[in-house]
Amino acid sequence: MEQDRDHVPDATRSLILDEFVEHRRMLAGLAYRLLGSWHDAEDVLQEAYLRWARVDRAQVLEPRRYLTTVVTRLAIDSLRARQARRENYVGDWLPEPLPLDSLDSGDTSDLSLAMLHLMEQLTPPQRAVYVLRTAFVLPYDEVAAILDRSADDCRQLHRRAAAALEKGRPKFTPSRAEQERLLRDFVAAAREGDLARLESMLRAEVTAWTDGAGQPKTARKPVLGQEKVARFFTRIYTRGDQLAAVPIHSVGEVALLLRVRETSHLLTLQSDGSLVTAVRVVANPEKLSAFEGHDGGSAVVFEDY
């Protein structure tokens, strides 16, 4: 049952907001894990608050559980709608990176672009079960209540999701210092046009994805293989423009925010401990808005060639 908001006293409205804010950081982490998009997560949180403001408090036994249920179900609906729209998206779709301090301070290893990108292959129910069970450690009976499914069904969904993710899950997580060094070496080799050096850093079956939403000079399809990936990034970084690279501690990993003239893109590398296995470039301006004016490390400037 919903309340008439026009007749809610100001003190009650303040309490409603305070209760929501108390759980908002957790809910933001949940929505972002489920969607891989901060813009979509914010839309879900806004709708969740509106529903929270209208619900009859007598019907809510546990606010945290109620809000978790609302956010999860809204996120599933958003995922399904996004899948329907994806056919019209130009080029590869990559998750939206966030600065490190954007979400809760707990374990964020599941929030790298690599993991969020990998989770895109899951169905919305599989993704919801996996996140609720793995990231939030909820028991299957609670997950089942949230999704309005049986506990056995949720176990099956989690098993399938875990099996699908295991095939592509990064087996090695370098330290932040190692990630930053690898990124700088990668860009330096490409900037110098040193194909042999760049190829020596790449696994033979390396794949590069670029999400530019149709921006000029971005690949519309994944770039496959050591030689093609090396040549692709050499062409990007040896155009003669001054290139500034700022180390960014994003959620789940270190990235480089590269600026060339008036355009920016964010670069992340996935490594097996010795060679680069995957490259991801986010150049869609809407997905970089969280980094506008963001203070990263000291910029490394690669001068004109």
pLDDT surpasses 60 at 72: yes
pLDDT at position 49 is 95
Q: Which token pair is 146?
A: 């949230």
Residue 88 reports pLDDT greater than 50: yes
What's the pLDDT score for residue 107? 64
The predicted structure's pLDDT at residue 9? 53
Note the pTM of the prediction, 2 decimals: 0.88
At residue 293, the pLDDT reads 64
Q: What is the mean pLDDT of the chain?
A: 87
Within 8 A by CB and 6+ apart from 75, the residues are 30, 31, 34, 35, 40, 41, 44, 124, 128
> In which band, very low, low, confident or very high, does the pLDDT at 238 lie, cut at 50, 70 and 90?
confident
pLDDT for 40 beyond 80 = yes
Q: Tokens standing for 84?
A: 């329907």
Which of 56-60, 87-91, 207-211, 243-247 shows the lowest per-residue confidence on average (mean pLDDT)? 87-91
The DSSP annotation for 62-82 comes to -HHHHHHHHHHHHHHHHHHHH
Contact (Cβ atoms closer than 8 angstroms) between residue 215 and residue 272? no
Tokens of 96: 């939206």
Q: Is the pLDDT of residue 183 over 50?
A: yes
Could you tell me what percent of the chain has a pLDDT over 90?
Answer: 59
Q: Which among 227, 187, 236, 174 is positioned nearest to 203, based on CA atoms? A: 227
Q: Give the contacts of 193 (CB within 8 A, at least 6 positions apart).
A: 234, 238, 305
Note the Cα 47 to chain centre separation in Å.
21
pLDDT tens readout for residues 258-291: 987 778 899 999 998 889 999 999 999 999 988 8
Q: What is the pLDDT of residue 42?
A: 96
C-alpha triplet 235, 239, 245: angle, nearest 5°: 90
Q: Is the pLDDT of residue 44 over 90?
A: yes
**86-100, 102-116, 140-154: which range is least confident on average?**
102-116
Query: Who wins on pLDDT, 141 or 4?
Result: 141
The pLDDT confidence band at residue 106, using thresholds 50, 70 and 90, is low
